[in-house]
Chain A
């Protein structure tokens, strides 16, 4: 079991938690050492995994999932601990590792209870990594829950503002989504094999059997898509996102918007669409309407917010809506764009939240009306904020542009009027995004200094520079050389596209 490389993505965070548990309560040095070592190891593992994966693919290994392994866990219900990765999960693991790494540096001076904070943080990353390596629906769901629960404490204890309310709201709404999801997963489980067989949780086997009757598929599709859609901030189930993000501490916002929201999108195509293809063909239109609304609605809402985190939370609603929108287009190009948008949005939002945390830590306000001219006071952070803004509004050379364009061109492949209208509506979001991003940049970063007290503030420290520079390099990396990622993702969609084609 331990010879499987993927399992170590869960073991390392567990070791990280054990290491943290051994540290003294306020021994910052030891805590930081553990965190930095383990997150670097995770990042290294993720990079190695990507290289190895690409090598194996280049060497002609065309099986759907690589590094597979499966161990019986609970026999009566046929639950396995089954792992395996394709091109998409590999990239998602890399994204998570990058954000955990950057998040560690961004919460260098967390206060109070640093040890407990990082313990929960590590548990959260365990859940995230576990989710992306699983190919057994039950273990997937379990890791999903493991990732959600620490959120409550992380926001409730270390948050700011109305943190108890937000933590409760976030947890309850996501748990509500989980309830739908559990129903959907159980339904898929019971119908996973033709009559008489032993039901299975394994995604590959279920897809291979394709034994779920179309009428059941429609019901289960709604359950699973709504269940994951809640986490993907789909309209009208997005309201946990603004409050939750606004109150969460920096690193948690980063990890939550950067990775956790991606769990929703990932689940949508890996389970809802892959396992229930005929329902996806039939019912996609409902969710296209909802996500189309998300895109435009989030962008318009962001235009009038005054709290930096609210602006980004609504912008996340818009961008994550784009992810689900792309996945629902059910063709290879658009779905690839959806995954690219996940990566791009993950990095970009993490960068945004890191910067907002750093600015908030200095000015003690997130209200853009009370700040201004930060470029003069903290040029490094100002420049980074502008770069993040440009990435968000889809400037070429940044990942956002690549993702959005892939989505638009893919989505436009659907030739009927319904899809066209929604694609055009979605493209309008790039203008609205420019409006709210430039509004913030103009008020916050540029212009005259609003508050003379801010003149004494200092620019970024080395760990802040390191954290933001990592993310910027990744953003620009995807933006400049998108094709290898594009090809990796496109290739990984082959089974899903085949399943969709067979379902027609």
Chain B
């Protein structure tokens, strides 16, 4: 099981690192997908090794993939809109929502 979980952790850490350091929103989105996929991987792995008799983990992963697709579509739409409004996709240029 460990051999499956270690890549998952590495993926998740890479996702977090990427999310925290990159400026481009598309890169952020990719990092987000990495984290999501690592979570999906965990679902599958735990289902397979701990509860071999049931299928909930698998179903949930499929469900999450579908949702992630929709989410990505929305995120891309937002990014395009921001690009139109601001002229770039730098995350630091949209800081108005504060205080």
Direct contact of A and B (CB under 8 A): no
